[in-house]
Chains A and B, each alone.
Chain A
Amino acid sequence: MNEHRPDMIELSAYFDGELDPVRQQGVAAHLAACPACAAQLDLLRMLAADFERLPAATLGFDLAGVIEGRLAAAPRPQPRRDRSWRGLLPVSAGAAASVACGIAMGFALFGGAATPRIAAMSVFDTMPPGSLCIGLESCYTNGAKR
């Protein structure tokens, strides 16, 4: 008997022909020698046969006619808008132009031209206007001695 006994998952897939060809053959060989597994497979066959005997429920009227009537009154579905880069090209170009414009304007205002000195900042300069030192008295006394 084949060493590898198939579990129910494998047996079920074998029954549906959904195993790879090598394993399908392996399971077939095992089934030929294993009455217990063969009995399991018979149960799967029985279940499938019973499904075939289930009453086939039908809608009982022509839905196509009903749908066709409703569709005639409904608007036609619109195809999806093109989402590819080609579709977005005009938008992207506009956005890029806006950004470039902004950068150019900013550069014209603050870059390139000399930055104006703000007079108010000189209030905090260590040297007072007119270069008069209002610091130590020795600044002046030293000069006087010479």
Chain B
Amino acid sequence: MECMISRTDDAEAELVVRAQAGDHRAFALLVGRYQDPVFRFVLRMSGIRDEAMDLTQDTFLKAYRALPAWRPEARFRTWLFQIAHNATLDVLRRRQRVEFVPYDEDAQDAAAPEARDPAPTPEQALADRQRIGMLERALRELPAEQREVLLLREVEDMSYAEIAATLGIGEGTVKSRLARARVAALAHYRGHAGENSDE
């Protein structure tokens, strides 16, 4: 497994080196590989689809401009998410809107069936839908610093070391912040579950 990751990293590093040498096709391949992971991260952070699209494009353009600074010791994904994270925080700070603004819920619902089991029973589908809704709400209500650490771990499957490098914090901070974020998310779950059962 480790060997496979290493081979993937090597192939990716080769693409980055080619892109550094001015090979636009190589950079386009990297964009194709990471456009959706970067987009879903910035979308969950910013909360606005149009803004997330702009941020995704900005992230890749900034990455291209910063390519000469990339060193093979850094994983390209971590480096890219670092750029995306900084760009997103800049936007949130500039617009003084650290609060999460819900994005188009209809669009989420439209995409939801792809993520579910191929043929869930109606009860299961309803329960899944309710739980996903609760998680969406919980995520919206979490502070940005807890939301980002949860997304990088649970959605992007990053190790603590990668999260630390992406966010520019220590691994110990990742460990404690992630635990707090999970507790907070679960508390929101319980809160919303209570609301739902009251309804």
Contact = CB atoms under 8 A, between A and B. Distances in A.
B16 to A, nearest CB: 12
A53 B116 CA distance: 6
A20 to B, nearest CB: 12
Contact of A58 (B24, B111, B128): B111
Interface stretch (A9-17, A30-38, A90-98, A109-117): A9-17
A59 B27 contact: no
Interface residues of B, number: 55
A55 interface: yes
Contact of B132 (A16, A44, A54, A62): A54
Q: Is the interface of B mostly helix, strand, loop or mixed?
A: helix
Contacts of B78: none
Given A47-B182, A67-B57, A55 B28 contact: no
B175 A18 contact: yes
Interface residues of A, number: 37
B61 A70 contact: yes
A67 B26 CA distance: 12
Contacts of B198: none
B68 A79 contact: yes
Given A12-B179, A54-B115, A77-B68, A72 B24 contact: yes
Contacts of A78: 68
Contacts of B109: 55
Q: Which of B35, B66, B136 has the most CB of A within 10 A?
A: B35
Interface string A1-25: 0000000110111001010000000
A65 B60 CA distance: 12
A50 interface: yes
A12 to B, nearest CB: 4
Interface of A: 8-9, 11-13, 16, 18, 43-44, 47-48, 50-59, 62-68, 70-72, 74, 76-80
23 contacts: A9-B176, A13-B160, A16-B178, A18-B159, A18-B175, A47-B135, A51-B155, A55-B109, A55-B132, A56-B114, A57-B39, A57-B111, A58-B40, A63-B56, A63-B60, A64-B32, A64-B35, A67-B57, A70-B61, A77-B65, A78-B68, A79-B68, A80-B68
